[in-house]
Structure 1
Amino acid sequence: MRHFTLIALFTFNIVQILAREQNVIANGRLMCGSSPAVNVRVSLYDIDTAPDPDDLLDEMFTDIEGEFVVRGSTAEDTDIEPILKVTHDCEDDNKNHQGRRIVTFAIPYSYVTLRGMPHKRFELGTINLETKFHNEERQVPSAKIRRHHYYPRRLNYDNDFDIFDSF
């Protein structure tokens, strides 16, 4: 068991040494028709393969002009695969039923900087979210689960009343 622990610690340290910090920054402007898309969620992820879950690097909501800037970094031993996920309900006929629309934009690896601040910014440009994208998904709304809590009644032994005296 002791040898296993030492091997595990050694392996973990090697992985940490081989992992390199990778940074990315992206910005853009989102529109809904001719109006700025205000309060739209923009998430920056590093896509990983199973069983490693995807890493959320940064997340923000667009400002009153529909603009956003997201930046993030992560230490990985392989090249990161950054993406932008835009979650919105612009021109959505199913606002109350199927969840919000999610559009994904891949960021080329040439915009990833090793160590330090990102040197190159990925400019998404101005995107009209009325567009129906071919890779569009739906955010699955979380089900409203009714939870019934059972709180057992506690007998109060502080008073002189005994429940068996009433019978």
Structure 2
Amino acid sequence: MKAVLFALSLSLRIIGVHGDLIGRAQSIAVTGILICDEEPARNVKVKLYDDDAGLDLDDFMAEVRTDEEGRFAITGTSSEIMAIDPKLNIYHDCNDDWIPCQRKLSVLVPKEYITGGTKARQSYDIGTIQLSGSNPGEERDCFNR
């Protein structure tokens, strides 16, 4: 029984790592505006991931930085057997003073914005996000600079 469970676990891990070989391409696009104390949050790093659970690491899809007005538009594609779980990570230092590492805010993207294929046909607009103060689910991240 242990051998069967090990083989199944190993197979799922291999499929997770090499899902692009047997999975289907899925795309997502997200737009939004980031502000810090009512000022545009300029040059803020925004990354798009396929949020994977368990032993499978999140799949990196794309990275952009906000413009002079705090705006961003990001599009990414990932191949998976099942539907992707798109997640946007925002790494910033708004009102952070000298505290080490960056603040990381994660935003889950609704599945209805996923498009089959390599080109997103619609975009999820997250609106305007105020980065000052604390946001639910926010944490510190020292490794994504």
- TM-score range (shorter-chain normalised) is 0.7 to 0.9
1:139 equivalent in alignment to 2:141: yes
**Secondary structure of 1:110 counterpart:** helix
Distance in 1 (alpha carbons) for counterparts of 2:34 and 2:61:
20
Alignment of 1:13-162 (within 5 A): 18-92=22-96, 95-140=97-142
| Equivalent pair of 2:77/2:118 in contact (CA under 8 Å) | no
Distance in 2 (alpha carbons) for counterparts of 1:51 and 1:37:
34
Distance in 2 (alpha carbons) for counterparts of 1:141 and 1:75:
25
More strand by share: 2
Shift of 1:65: 0.6
Distance in 2 (alpha carbons) for counterparts of 1:58 and 1:86:
12
Identity %: 33
Instruction: Specify the code of the residue in structure 2 equivalent to 1:115.
Output: G
Q: TM-score, normalised by structure 2?
A: 0.80
Shift of 1:49: 2.1
Q: TM-score, normalised by structure 1?
A: 0.70
Task: Tell me which of the two structures has the higher relative contact order, counting C-alpha pairs closer than 8 angstroms and 6 or more residues apart.
Answer: 2
Shift of 1:30: 0.5
How many aligned residue pairs are there? 129
Larger of the two Rg values belongs to structure: 1
| Equivalent pair of 1:42/1:60 in contact (CA under 8 Å) | yes
| Equivalent pair of 1:98/1:141 in contact (CA under 8 Å) | no
**Secondary structure of 2:106 counterpart:** strand
Shift of 1:96: 2.7
Shift of 1:138: 0.3
Query: Residues 97 and 78 from structure 1, CA distance in 2 versus in 1: closer, same or farther, beyond 3 angstroms?
Result: same
Shift of 1:16: 6.0
Distance in 1 (alpha carbons) for counterparts of 2:128 and 2:137:
18
Distance in 2 (alpha carbons) for counterparts of 1:30 and 1:104:
13
Distance in 1 (alpha carbons) for counterparts of 2:65 and 2:117:
26
Query: Residues 36 and 48 from structure 1, CA distance in 2 versus in 1: closer, same or farther, beyond 3 angstroms?
Result: same
* Residue segments in structure 2 that go unaligned for 5+ positions in a row: 1-10
